[in-house]
Chain A
Amino acid sequence: MRGTLVNLNVNPCKMCMPMGAVTAFYGIKKCMSILHGSQGCSTYIRRHMATHYNEPVDIASSSLTEEGTVYGGEQNLIKGLKNLITVYEPEVIAVATTCLAETIGEDIIRIIDKFYNDNPEYKNIEIIPVPSAGYAGTQFEGYMKALYQIVANVDMNPEKNEKVNIVTSILSPADTRYLKDLLESYSIDYILLPDLSENLDGIYKSQYEKLPSQGTDIEDIKRMAGARFTIELSGFTEDNPSAAEYLHETYGVPYKKCNLPVSLRDNDSLLRLLEKISGRKTAEKLKKQRGRFLDAMVDAHKYNGEARAAVFGEPDFVYSTVRLCVENGIMPMIAATGSRCRNLKEMLEKEIEEVANSYFANDYKILDDVDFQTIEEYAGELGVNVLIGNSDGRRVAEKLGIDLVRRCFPVHDRVGGQRLRILGYEGALSFLDDISNVILAKKETTFREKMYDRYYKEDGIKYPERQINHKNHNIIELNIPKKEFAAPEKTREERTATHPCFNCGAHEYARMHLPIAPKCNISCNYCVRKFDCPNESRPGVTTEILKPEEAFRKYMKVKKKIPNLSVVGIAGPGDALANFEETKKTLELIREQDKDVTFCLSTNGLMLPQYADDLINLGVSHVTVTMNAADPKIGGKIYKYVNYMGTYYYGEAAAAILLSNQLAGIKMLTSKGIICKVNIVMLKGINEEHIPKVAKKVKEMGGTITNIMQLIPVEGSVFADLPLINNKEIMEMRKKCGKIMPQMYHCKQCRADAVGTLEIDRSIEFNACHKTENAKTISEADNKMEVDNRTGMDSRIEKDSKTGSAGRIGTDVRTGVDSKTGKDNKTGTDNEAGMAVRAEADKERIIQVAVATKSGMLVDQHFGHASEFYVYEYNHGNVVFKERRSIEKYCSGIEECDVKEDKIESIIRTIADCDAVIAMRIGESPKMKLNRKGIRVFATYDRIEDSVKKVASDLSGL
């Protein structure tokens, strides 16, 4: 398993063994299954099957309890067998174990023997044990194991007969029906094991049969030992017990293993075999179907040729589907099964090789024991454009925006899972059409936008919005071979559209600079790189130099915190190319994890001719070259020296070498489509008049944009005292050069470790976040949280508890639902006082009623069973809810209250201040007690509000 989390199965691409076992037994006539284990297993499996097959699925359970788990589940299983026989009257019973039964060591063979011995009346019922611990394999192994257990356990009749056995791996009911028709067309007298065609895709009948009445008859199974031949339709019985092999070894029945007939080759070879066995010619009808299949293969081959598929599911499904794919030029980029399947890779490599070679697509993956996390990650990386498998792939489809062709088990999110076909020429054709149509549908709905994006160049850079929107469409560039273009996932235009430094419309995107390049190979007169102050922001400044691994970690951290991060840049603090090894390593590490991020790099250009190709291969799409002069004479004033290939050059010679390398390098990059920006530092009295010439030169070399910047004077540098250029001058120069080529107006001249959008630098936040001991940051964050909580806590509560007052949160906030009532013998003083005042003012009209309720909506509780009352006030015809009173509190909280005191007494005390009580039922004795206290009693079943209204109006009428 690969995937980000290696120690967990994330989104399983498999189910468990008992599921497979039960499925196989659904193909046996009058058979009922019981799972020996806890109740949940059977219920979950029933749900899973019912939603796929749209048929009632009855599976019994021995319903193991805690006791059964400790002392053994024999009693449960025996009782379960008896009960299911009583209700279902089966002829065959499958006893499949679960994780629980296997782990506690249940000996089902012994239990079944005991059952036969103790209940001779059931001796005619065939009980077949299947050891199927959920952890021992997937549903595929469970299914194959069940078939083996059937032939190995049924009392066989080895007398020779003319029948042909067909044993199949998991098929849909519709495919099973096809297989039966096929055999009948050769007039072959067959025994099909199993035959779930009717039981799991039944017809509508006026009389429902709860016990599956179709399927393979147990009497036929007995004759399998005497059959003249066995065909086993599964390529994967080597790791699993094979029914065909068992019949051969035990009874000498010859056999042949065939692949599921999905591909042309597998269909053809099955038909040839059937011709041989039956001595009959293939029916004209089938030949026509074959011809039509061939015709369709030709018709769709060009669409299929664009398909890059991920195929997942049970081993036989994956293997046979891949064989169909490769015949049709569909490139299987991923072939994956959740089962453990050692020979899958070897078998499939042979299949895929040819098409992979002709498409130069050798980065495909064959995976077993896989989860969907892994499939999803690879599908994204490998540019998969069609998913083929069960509906558990829907999450990947949803996330990556790739359509899913649903086949195999389970299909939960569509109807008709039981009728999906893959077998035979016709089944394969409908399957193939579905795949081709995914490719066609995608093309039809996206090609206009895609071509516009790629080829409409006019003012392209000025219309970023339209391009940005496309990001959401999940358009995957499919036809670009990986090796030639290092970054196929996003077009350069898309990258430019999301690069804040190359496109002023992309200001919402963030970038980060990784300070991994300390060395520099030239010396500019305006630069000193020894200073660091985190609050200062300018090129050449960084808090710390990172190693490539550290830079990678920092990137991953930042990426998580800043999701709009679209660009990683290397901008010194020295020169990226003077530190090429570090640059290369860093970019490689990041690219491995993130195909999407744009790589950007800035350099003085001295080493560009040497590394231009490497940069392209690394996937760098944007390069900034700082070029202050296009004339060595002027350059000579700006650069102190150049260190080129180990030799120092000074003055004009230095400037000449630098210039020619800069120009050659830019040309090399732009000719390959790399976006080049040229930075020009405007230096008063040195190059200010010369800048338009630089811009012209850049344009000639194919540069995209120039960025004319102010000098930031740095103390200690040669130009520290150079007079400054003001904003106006800069803007005028940019305007002037704007006539030559596009200008950047929004440069912020960032730090070498800048992080964030151009507007908000967040580099301080991420300092040291590359360190391996990230525990520190976590605990810091947590401490902060703790403090927050403490300060957030109500100080009043603490005070209360100090003073020993019984006050609790409930009292302090006065919710109105008084939870502390009963601290003393009476109700809360607040209430009482309030009551008294109100009672005085409005003596006869306020009536307080207690209601015994369980649901809170209805009077639905016995008086004697009540654990709480809802108290209502009736006032001027209005019913108002007052509070919920818990009886426990009236008892436990009171000192005088004897623990053993009669419960009725405490109930009565709870509602002592009420005028009436309403309950669903009430006994005579409490009724009298209440009456003696002047509390009227009403028994009813009604909505609370309605009953209170009735009672109160009754009372007030008195």
Chain B
Amino acid sequence: MENARVLEERKEFIWDGQDGRGGNGIKCDANSVSGSVSQRACVYCGARVVLNPITDAFHIVHGPIGCASYTWDIRGSLSSGDDLYRNSFSTDLREQDIIFGGEKKLKAAIEEVAEKYHPRLIFVYATCIVGVIGDDVDAVCKAMSQEYNMRVIPVKSPGFSGNKSVGYKMACNAIMELIAKHKNLKKKGINILGDYNLAGEMWIIKDYLNRIGIPVVSTFTGDSSYDSLIRASAAQLNIVQCAGSSTYLADRMEEEMGIPYIKVSFFGIEDTASSLIRIAEALKDEEAKQKAMEFTAAERLKLQDFLTKYRKNLRGKKAAIYVGGGFKAISLIRQFHSLNMETVVVGTQTGKKDEYEIIESLVNKETVILDDTNPAELEKFMKEKEADILVGGVKERPLAYKLGIAFCDHNHERKHPLCGFDGVINFTREINSSINNPVWKYVKEEL
């Protein structure tokens, strides 16, 4: 493997069977190694992931055009109402603004939006440059909020100030700033945190809850709006689906609004079933619990034949996983397991130490575990471990294909849901149709 070189500094971020494990464990939660071609994005990206699904807000990117251009309408979050969030708004800073500051431009932009559209909610994302040229975004937002009687909330997301996780946190802070002061009368129902309604996933979860008689008060942030968000304090319970992005929000809501929370997952049959039952239990709602058990049992039954059929087709296939957060990786390992598949390479962009420990305990000794990896390492280990399929995001797709490896997109751009019982079907079919596609046979043929 002549061009499969691993940087010395990167070795601590990699666990593989040969080099042994243990000691202080895998190195993670650190800055990316310069020049290593990390797959990570930036703080701004993390903030955008969490906030952008708020459908009726003006999301104004204060910065040069690139930041806005590369994030314009690229995610599959759906809306049942407004579609303002699918537009890109940017102050489009130019050289002049870098020299003289961008505050004026930002202020003029907000004033114009306020006068023409009278929005109730504006988010202002501060990008790399804004921090450096010294714009006081907080002050502008505050002044504009007062002048126009609307909420203009700054999101502190200069790209260099950490990684995506920091961006999640900044977004959660922005959400708290919006909702904290809205007190509502308590009513039966829950909030869903950490679901972004990709391909309608929030709707699927809501439908399940509706079937078992549990109302949803507010959703964070898939298919949400100003009105729906400020209702949040009425809920009795928060459920957290994407723990990586939203546990911090759940903690703050518990602390400051007194809403307890539980973590749930709707990926895979087992998680979906036990999550629904758990929610009913947490609410001490016997009737809902009964319904949840009946509903999930019926759905499980429906899937039995389907899964038996596909498991045969997938038995013994080897998966590589490279995703954003630890929880998603864990959930995928278990889903592959339930399909009789083995995970041979697994890595995350921003996994935490304890998540890696769980991953370690879930996989075989020979499985390679990677933190903040790069194309060269992915190539090396996927080839060494003879992976049949890679689960990842769009950037990793062409690499997999060049290596003759099937691919499953488990990122924000996908256009079919992977959660709930429908998600099990979609996921299984997608894996099967890529792994068992005839093209892999033909690409090996010689002329």
Contacts and interface: CB of A to CB of B under 8 A. Distances in A.
A941 B34 contact: no
A81 B258 CA distance: 51
Chain B CB within 10 A, most for which of A14, A813, A941: A813
B258 A817 contact: no
B290 to A, nearest CB: 12
A551 to B, nearest CB: 18
A50 B39 CA distance: 13
B287 interface: no
Contact of B282 (A15, A77, A883): A883
Interface stretch (B182-190, B309-317, B416-424, B425-433): B182-190
B282 A881 contact: yes
Interface residues of B, number: 121
Interface in A1-55: 4-12, 14-16, 18-19, 34, 37-48, 50-51, 53-55
Given A5-B112, A38-B128, A10 B38 contact: no
A48 B258 CA distance: 42
Given A41-B66, A135-B97, A817-B237, A855 B330 contact: yes
Contact of B375 (A16, A56, A778, A945): A56
A856 interface: yes
A441 interface: no
A46 B64 CA distance: 18
Contact of A44 (B5, B66, B357): B66
Contacts of A794: 183-186
Interface string A772-792: 001100110010000001001
Interface in A773-823: 774-775, 778-779, 782, 789, 792-794, 797, 808-819
Nearest to B352: A854
Contacts of B132: 69, 100, 103-104
B270 A943 contact: yes
A210 B379 contact: yes
Contacts of B115: 774
Interface string B356-369: 01100110000000
Given A208-B379, A778-B118, A6 B112 contact: yes
B108 A813 contact: no
List of 6 A-B pairs having minimum Cβ-Cβ separation, nearest first: A40-B42, A856-B263, A80-B35, A16-B66, A83-B35, A80-B34
Nearest to B289: A880
B139 interface: no
B341 interface: no
Given A43-B39, A43-B42, A210 B376 contact: yes
A789 B231 CA distance: 10
Contact of B112 (A8, A44, A133, A811): A8
A645 interface: no
B44 interface: yes
A813 B186 contact: yes
Interface stretch (B13-21, B84-92, B196-204, B294-302): B84-92
Given A56-B375, A87-B36, A793 B183 contact: yes
Contacts, number: 355
B402 interface: yes
B34 A63 contact: yes
Interface in A807-859: 808-819, 853-858
Contact of B129 (A5, A18, A135): A135
Interface stretch (A500-508, A516-524, A618-626, A860-868): A860-868
A884 B65 contact: no
A390 B410 CA distance: 26
A8 B91 contact: yes
A99 B358 contact: no
A603 interface: no
B31 interface: yes
Interface string B88-122: 11111111011000000100110111011010000
Interface in B312-362: 327, 330-331, 354-355, 357-358, 361-362
B234 to A, nearest CB: 8
B259 interface: yes
B447 to A, nearest CB: 12
A672 interface: no
A390 to B, nearest CB: 11
A809 B35 contact: no
Contacts of A100: 128-129, 132, 159-160
A13 to B, nearest CB: 9
Nearest to B93: A135
A883 B375 CA distance: 43
B47 to A, nearest CB: 11
A395 B73 contact: yes
A11 B5 contact: no
Nearest to B282: A817
10 contacts: A14-B69, A15-B66, A39-B32, A80-B34, A83-B9, A99-B98, A412-B74, A811-B258, A855-B358, A860-B361
Contacts of B185: 792-794
A38 B132 CA distance: 13
A210 B3 contact: yes
Interface string B211-252: 000000000000000000000010011001001000000000
Interface in B10-62: 31-45, 60
A716 B276 CA distance: 74
A10 B398 contact: no
Interface in B387-404: 393-395, 397-399, 401-403
B91 A51 contact: no
Interface in A237-292: none
A204 B443 contact: yes
Nearest to A89: B3
Given A778-B148, A815-B237, A9 B159 contact: no
Interface in A731-781: 774-775, 778-779
A192 B31 CA distance: 40
Interface string A54-71: 111111111111101100
B261 A884 contact: yes
Contacts of B282: 815-817, 881, 883-884
B395 A43 contact: yes
Chain B CB within 10 A, most for which of A41, A59, A99, A880: A99
A464 interface: no
B254 interface: yes
B354 A135 contact: no
A462 interface: no
B163 A920 contact: no
Nearest to A79: B34
Contacts of B264: 856-857
B402 A48 contact: no
Contacts of A853: 263
Given A37-B128, A38-B42, A881-B278, A61 B32 contact: yes
